[in-house]
Amino acid sequence: MPEWMIEIEHLRKEFGNLVAVEDLCLRIPPGEFFGFLGPNGSGKTTTIKLLTGLLRPTRGVARIGGFDIQKEHLAAKRLIGYVPDTPYLYEKLSAREFLRLVGDLYQIPVQTLDRRITELLELLGLAHVADGLIEDYSHGMRQKAVMCACLLHEPKAIIIDEPMVGLDPQSAHLVKTVLRKQCEQGACVFMSTHTLSLAEDVCHRVAIILKGRVIAVGTVDELKREYGGHSDLEDLFLDLTGRDVGA
């Protein structure tokens, strides 16, 4: 197992005259639950798209399990499980059919695939609707179907953009438990979220990004001490990013 599951070196992304990400450097080991925090427009989703190979960097490199996401994209993507902020689902498929499609794309052997689908549908509470069309699913059920697809091939780097949006408390607790379990089993989780209480609860370390630059990295306790003994992560975040900035 590599020392760093996610390694980002001097990453920069420009869109014309706009610099969305500037000189980003992060290292995340296997087993770490890492929170990526920042106001709207700070560069979080751009960073995630760079990490997953959906965007090419202007400069710098991102590695997954030691593989350059641009130069060794197939090897890197085999290690990634990705949940975007607005996931797309094929509404005329059932969850089971959708997961079989995803499994075939990852070339998972049939027997292994059927076992994994059954396990994940049961784990995330979708077994009772597994053969119903996705178009009839609630938002929370769709989110859990996407989470099943993310975990299907047993990824080592789980990259998630706002995983709890629209989930009821029971579903949010379940997803949080599942992600913690993945870390215990050696995967790392890279989670972008605006839910600061969630980050404070589950993350081993967090990074705060503002205007494309990381301005703070560490455990929540380390950052509280370093930046003046704040009472909680929300108070710290607002002081570092500006209380008049929408987050």
**CATH number of the domain residue 6 falls in:** 3.40.50.300
Assigned domain for 49 exists: yes
Assigned domain for 118 exists: no
Number of independent structural domains in the chain = 1
- Other beta carbons within 10 angstroms of residue 73's beta carbon come to 14
Please give the Cα distance from 224 to 214 (Å, whole number). 16
What are the tens digits of pLDDT across the range 170-218? 888 898 999 999 999 999 999 999 889 899 999 999 999 999 999 999 9
pTM (two decimals): 0.92
Assigned domain for 96 exists: no
Please give the Cα distance from 112 to 93 (Å, whole number). 21
- Other beta carbons within 10 angstroms of residue 199's beta carbon come to 24
Assigned domain for 149 exists: no
What are the tens digits of pLDDT across the range 137-147? 998 899 999 99
Assigned domain for 178 exists: no
Assigned domain for 62 exists: yes
Q: pLDDT-based confidence at 243, cuts 50/70/90?
A: low
Assigned domain for 124 exists: no
**4 is in which domain, residue-wise?**
1-79+157-166+188-242
